[in-house]
Structure 1
Amino acid sequence: MTATQINPASALPTTGEFRLEVIAIPVSDVDRAKQFYGSLGWREDVDFKIRPDFRVVHMTPPGSPASVLFGKGVTNAEPGSVSALTLAVDDVDAARAELVSRGIDVSEVFHGASGFDLAGQDAREPGRDPENQSYSSWASFSDPDGNGWLLQEIKTRLPGR
């Protein structure tokens, strides 16, 4: 089976939907992270200071049904230890340009190796995918702690998506 084929028989029956809504990311300084994600143009949904050792912040990217959660006492992961957090964008060049205009250090657009290829088997090639295929042009950036983000251009979704 190729990546473009979907096997409906493998879908599990369910009594309802399972929607991914929140991803926890580890940060060392909650206020610095809140300022950074706000500078990306992300909406602040909540900032609950529940106890001195427990604070929860939710920030949501424009157009996303899912948000990131960070704070104090919300994860045992080391700050900066999360990678390949992926933002699907219609136009990777435009998304990159917007982030750069906001003062964010974003990689140049690349293609070739998947943004998820940590083994580095295939080299990243500079520029957009020459065939302009969806899922094949990327850019990357990190938050102040080093949590890694990818911009992935998706113009046409695979079947079933």
Structure 2
Amino acid sequence: MEIKLELVAVPVRDVDRAKEFYERVGFVVDHDHTVSDDVRFVQLTPPGSACSIAIGKGLTTMSPGALDNLQAVVADADAALADLTAKGVEASPVDEQPWGRFVYFADPDGNRWSLQQIPKWG
């Protein structure tokens, strides 16, 4: 059986503020549809990713900011940190671990992300 993770709902308070933040980080807006007064669906995809996030209204029962460990992979943690800070995103210094180099940041609602540079083994 093949399973592909393609969409993760990220709970936010203010859809427009979150959309602007993720666009600033570099995510591409794939869809932004208001279905009804109770449902708005915004899908954004990080550059190079097969998995997208969905923010909006009426998409999840999670509280805004409830996600505390969304993780994505980058080629270079130092470059990721430089890119985030150049875009005005508050991010941690590079965290060196035996299993990778990490940069951490959060969206305006407090959903936390880690960007991992996977170590080269051997």
Q: Which residue of 2 aligns with 1:43?
A: 28
Could you say if the C-alpha distance between residues 85 and 57 of structure 1 is closer, same or farther in structure 2, counting changes exceeding 3 Å?
Answer: same
2:108 maps to amino acid? P
Query: 1:62 pairs with 18, 35, 47, which one?
Result: 47
Whether 1:154 aligns to 2:118 is yes
TM-score, length-scaled by structure 2: 0.94
Unaligned runs of 5+ in 1: 1-13, 113-132
Compute the displacement of 1:110 (Å): 1.0
Name the count of aligned residue pairs: 121
Q: In structure 2, what is the Cα distance between the partners aligned to 1:66 and 1:137? A: 21
Compute the displacement of 1:36 (Å): 0.3
Q: In structure 2, what is the Cα distance between the partners aligned to 1:151 and 1:55? A: 28
2:100 match: secondary structure: coil
1:23 maps to amino acid? V
Query: 1:92 pairs with 61, 65, 77, which one?
Result: 77
Say whether the 8 Å CA contact 2:100–2:119 is kept in structure 1: no
Larger Rg: 1
1:51 match: secondary structure: coil
Query: 1:145 pairs with 90, 109, 112, which one?
Result: 109
Say whether the 8 Å CA contact 1:53–1:73 is kept in structure 2: yes
2:32 maps to amino acid? D
TM-score, length-scaled by structure 1: 0.72
The alignment yields a C-alpha RMSD, in angstroms, of: 1.3
Alignment deviations for residues 9-65 of structure 1 (CA, whole Å, 9 cap, x no partner): xxxxx2xx2110000010000000000000011100000100011000000001001
Q: Which residue of 2 aligns with 1:18?
A: 3
Name whichever structure is richer in strand by fraction.
Answer: 2
1:61 maps to amino acid? P
2:96 maps to amino acid? H
